[in-house]
Structure 1
């Protein structure tokens, strides 16, 4: 018998982590992600594992977003030495993501300890460091989509394209126990069917158990074309006001989609004289990883690019300026209007975007454009929910800039996409919803029952099921 214990992203969106136990494969984690929201140092210090990391035989990683991989350095620090199995593109992105994430954490921790010293408080020890990142990368094993990879004494894992970000995968785990074959499918994060750079998520046919994400189980997105029109209108109106546009962008996936859309506007002669700034060393590094894989993405939009533009998102948008150093980032502050500033982090929990907010959030000429999901407790969620004031760097700011959301640029499938993906399984599997807030999961559960006659489970954190 195999057991799945839901240890994160259970009735919540971030912190993806599920423990799969079976004599056929041993003890295997599906993802090892961090929770997001609140103070980063406090949040990471509070993260604990409900298992002994030394006892884990392998980690199957769906993709390289931090809410799916961010706790790998802690796992290594506490003794894990098994294989980390993922796609090749995910392995390449993991290098960038973990170095940046841990670097930011260590810098934030250093600032926190300076403040604590001034206040007579004890020093906080680091939960993990760069040595742990190097240890994680040394355990990483990248594979191609569709490749059968041996797992444990009697198991196999196969990665299928999830269409969410570069390298993102649907994880299929096949175990053989007592002459019986059982298949578990973990959706990871499923992409939208009309995403500009990604292929459509792979439709699988057979599974005994399916763990499916439900982030947008209660709503649909606008299509990409409508979002491009909306972006054009936002830019036009902000340009008329003499303002600038700030785009909090996730370094992997969303940033590259935004650059592609801005490139389309530029190629059509509709970008006016906007100066575009990518103000995120991590997003710059990730974009260059995308460039190396761009021809392999094979989406309709990529195939339609000319050969010259297909080689690089940077050449597709020649007005793009890359801000790598702190000095280059600060220099953007001297531009009073006509700047499109793409900066991390996507949920505004840290990174350079908060510094740009400090300079511009109080000016009604400016606009903030959100391009993806904002988790509860994050600054991004507070702004989207309509706050009138916000605290940045221990100072209060009145929010006067315009707040817009481009829902069509989400990298997640909407309700219709989730329903269609689940409907591909015949016969119907045992279905479990993960990676979603309770409201979204309740709506999706009702839809699955009404339209497909499928009864689904919504486990709480710490709950287990046997199959």
Structure 2
């Protein structure tokens, strides 16, 4: 068995792993690289494998850094099925179409710009894929419930388990049969959620694996607990809204819905005064509707939120923008608004306009709720840059920048180790993935200190050929 680390190895985005034996070749995830100057070129580069040779794809969840290159895969010859959880299938309809629209719109703008600049268009200015490719990829998706056996191939059986990261996120158990009658069990953690968070159920504990792929986004740090997180959120809101706005860059899927929950709860408990929340993201609006459709996947906290809404008293004023004109009108409001808008890393979408109008104001605040990849505007804000380039201008950062780690959709160091402790015996080989070098190495060291654990931190481009003793 060979394992190719195509992406998300000593980095957080671009999740993609190729598993091959003498009988089958399949991918786990096929995501976009996000952040950094090299991201666009890497996403445009040819796959380091022939897409037509791939038998099928197993998809852990809908976030673009895990799913965003599926249309490119289909465009270049992949014809097989894409197996994933049913809720993820619904989210992909929104996210892949939105991604294709962005690709086509950016390419069109580049075409218009270059004649004026008298420069030839660059290869990376072309669309990676278009709407037709997204639609083709969607037709190849095969939705499945959690905890149900799926025969992805005569030699491969898998089961999707709850990962607690976003709606439809999954840990995948995979059994690969090989010549000679050997079967290898491979477990992909996907992105694991923090136990005890509202909305989604906690990640499923897995008993055993021969090979384990475990994420490490926050492998070197701890989150605040939920009560301390709500205290911090209440303090930011109360200190800011009297004279300014709170801008929350949030991923449309998962983070937006959880932030709304916390703000509802703080209002219900009387810890903050009645507030005005505006969700300014068409994708978040659609994702929220899909979230409501899959109520069976919620935990008790989410069902409590539904009951609050039905009661209709003691709640914040919440509205979703419908048009671009409504979105632009928000920039005329100087105070009193909490604006939740995508993208979560501040590199695209309507949130950039809200940052443009609020970053230079000392009375406003920006609340960062999740991981910010290297090279993104969100990362520069977190790192304390005094000036950022935004919408063609250099903007002085005077607004307060708050990072609230307890709102992250990713498990922290203790939660990752706790999930790993669920194995009844050490896996034969552990690969620590989906984390920047420092966090991946920190988690790897913690796991390797356990008796019998063999741990590797691979790099992008590495190929591991497993010996017979393991395979």
Aligning the two structures, in what range does the TM-score lie when normalised by the shorter sequence? Answer: over 0.9
> 1:202, 1:231 → 2: CA distance?
29
> 1:453, 1:228 → 2: CA distance?
40
**Superposition pairs for residues 331-370 of structure 1, below 5 Å?**
331-370=329-368
- The residue aligned with 1:301 is 301
**Secondary structure of 1:35 counterpart:** coil
**Superposition pairs for residues 417-428 of structure 1, below 5 Å?**
417-428=415-426
> 2:201, 2:265 → 1: CA distance?
19
- The residue aligned with 2:78 is 80
Question: How far is the alpha carbon of 1:45 from its aligned partner?
Answer: 5.7
- The residue aligned with 1:247 is 248
Q: Report if the CA contact (8 A) 2:263-2:316 is conserved.
A: no
TM-score (norm 2): 0.94
- The residue aligned with 1:319 is 317
**Secondary structure of 2:47 counterpart:** coil
| Number of residues of Structure 1 aligned to a counterpart in Structure 2 | 461
> 2:395, 2:240 → 1: CA distance?
21
Render the CA deviation track for 1:62-106: whole Å, top value 9, x for unaligned.
000000000111111111110000000000001011111221222
**Superposition pairs for residues 195-234 of structure 1, below 5 Å?**
195-234=197-236
Render the CA deviation track for 1:255-286: whole Å, top value 9, x for unaligned.
11001111112222344243211000001100
TM-score (norm 1): 0.95
Render the CA deviation track for 1:111-135: whole Å, top value 9, x for unaligned.
2221112112234432210000110
Greater Cα shift, 399-408 or 218-227? 218-227
Rate the CA distance shift 1:322–1:315 in 2: closer, same or farther, 3 A: farther
- The residue aligned with 2:97 is 99
Q: Report if the CA contact (8 A) 1:302-1:310 is conserved.
A: no
**Superposition pairs for residues 157-306 of structure 1, below 5 Å?**
157-177=158-178, 178-240=180-242, 242-294=243-295, 296-305=296-305
- The residue aligned with 1:7 is 6
**Secondary structure of 2:294 counterpart:** helix
> 2:145, 2:440 → 1: CA distance?
32
Point out 4+ residue stretches in structure 1 off by more than 6 angstroms: none
Structure 2 stretches lacking a partner, 5+ long: none
> 1:439, 1:140 → 2: CA distance?
35
- The residue aligned with 2:443 is 444
Greater Cα shift, 445-454 or 283-292? 445-454
> 1:119, 1:40 → 2: CA distance?
23
Rate the CA distance shift 1:121–1:315 in 2: closer, same or farther, 3 A: farther
> 1:161, 1:85 → 2: CA distance?
15
Q: Report if the CA contact (8 A) 1:38-1:349 is conserved.
A: no
Rate the CA distance shift 1:354–1:306 in 2: closer, same or farther, 3 A: closer
Rate the CA distance shift 1:326–1:14 in 2: closer, same or farther, 3 A: same
Rate the CA distance shift 1:45–1:221 in 2: closer, same or farther, 3 A: closer
Q: Report if the CA contact (8 A) 1:41-1:109 is conserved.
A: no
> 1:456, 1:293 → 2: CA distance?
37
**Secondary structure of 2:449 counterpart:** helix
> 1:316, 1:179 → 2: CA distance?
62
Rate the CA distance shift 1:12–1:133 in 2: closer, same or farther, 3 A: same
**Secondary structure of 1:446 counterpart:** helix
- The residue aligned with 1:61 is 59
Rate the CA distance shift 1:254–1:310 in 2: closer, same or farther, 3 A: farther
Question: How far is the alpha carbon of 1:330 from its aligned partner?
Answer: 0.2
Question: How far is the alpha carbon of 1:309 from its aligned partner?
Answer: 3.3
Q: Report if the CA contact (8 A) 1:145-1:160 is conserved.
A: yes
Q: Report if the CA contact (8 A) 1:194-1:223 is conserved.
A: no
Q: Report if the CA contact (8 A) 1:62-1:86 is conserved.
A: yes
> 2:37, 2:99 → 1: CA distance?
14
Match of 2:389 among 391, 398, 404: 391
